[in-house]
């Protein structure tokens, strides 16, 4: 827009004016008069030097700068979407790992508790196994929350809900 205006200012202006007047006097003599005037001209300021040319070059530079700013914003948005996507994928992997860890902790606790009932392990080992089981459950809950948080961030970055979430 600025470039078009600068280019339009570079060329001379074409000026066209019209005017007209008419009179009709009813008197003893019938003498109607009509006057019309048409003016056509060109206006071009000669004493501006290279200001017009530099205004065009300035407008081109501003246009390029705006285009580069837009490209930078696009890259920023794309980067943010990919970062959020990979964080979401990482959170899902962490959730799967924590599920496997919880299953292993439950099996270990059951085995140690069975050993305690038989008399091969002591209460300290049972309590230690119970603590590890509790830590595994906590890690699973935190990873589930992390999946939802990363999904929300990804949704915000893309501006739309995934199909499997939107159907609920």
**Tens digits of per-residue pLDDT, 60-119?**
899 999 999 999 999 999 999 999 999 999 999 999 999 999 999 999 999 999 999 999
Distance CA 101, CA 83 (A): 27
Note the pLDDT of residue 21.
65
C-alpha–C-alpha distance, residues 81 and 94, integer Å? 20
Handedness of CA 145, 150, 156, 162 (dihedral sign): negative
pTM recorded for the entire structure = 0.62
DSSP summary character for residue 26: B
Q: What is the pLDDT of residue 12?
A: 72
Nearest to 16 by CA among 39, 43, 44: 39
What is the residue extent of each domain of the chain? 2-64, 77-160
Q: What token pair was written down for 112?
A: 């140690």
Spell out a b/e string for 89-119, using b for 16 or more CB atoms within 10 Å of the CB, else e: eebeebbeebeebbeebeeebeebeeebeee
CA distances 113 to 17, 77, 100, 127, 131, Å, are 105, 53, 20, 9, 13
Fold assignment, 77-160: 1.20.5
Q: Within 13 Å, how many C-alpha atoms sit on residue 61's CB side?
A: 6
pLDDT tens by residue, 11-68: 777 787 777 665 555 555 555 666 777 777 777 776 776 777 787 888 889 999 999 9
Q: Give the pair of three-digit tokens for residue 40.
A: 């056509």
């Amino acid at each position: 827009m600025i470039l078009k205006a600068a280019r339009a200012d570079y060329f001379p202006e074409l000026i066209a004016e019209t005017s007209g007047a008419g009179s009709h006097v009813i008197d003893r003599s019938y003498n109607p008069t009509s006057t019309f005037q048409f003016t056509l001209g060109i206006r071009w300021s000669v004493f501006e030097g290279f200001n017009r040319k530099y205004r065009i070059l300035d407008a081109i530079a501003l246009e390029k700068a705006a285009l580069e700013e837009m490209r930078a914003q696009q890259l920023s948005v794309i980067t943010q979407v990919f970062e959020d996507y990979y964080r979401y994928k990482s959170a899902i992997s962490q959730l799967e790992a924590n599920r496997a860890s919880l299953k292993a902790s439950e099996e270990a606790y059951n085995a140690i508790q069975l050993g305690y009932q038989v008399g091969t392990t002591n209460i300290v080992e049972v309590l230690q196994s119970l603590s590890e089981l509790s830590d595994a459950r906590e890690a699973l809950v935190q990873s589930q929350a992390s999946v939802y948080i990363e999904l929300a961030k990804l949704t915000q970055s893309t501006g739309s809900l995934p199909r499997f979430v939107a159907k609920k």
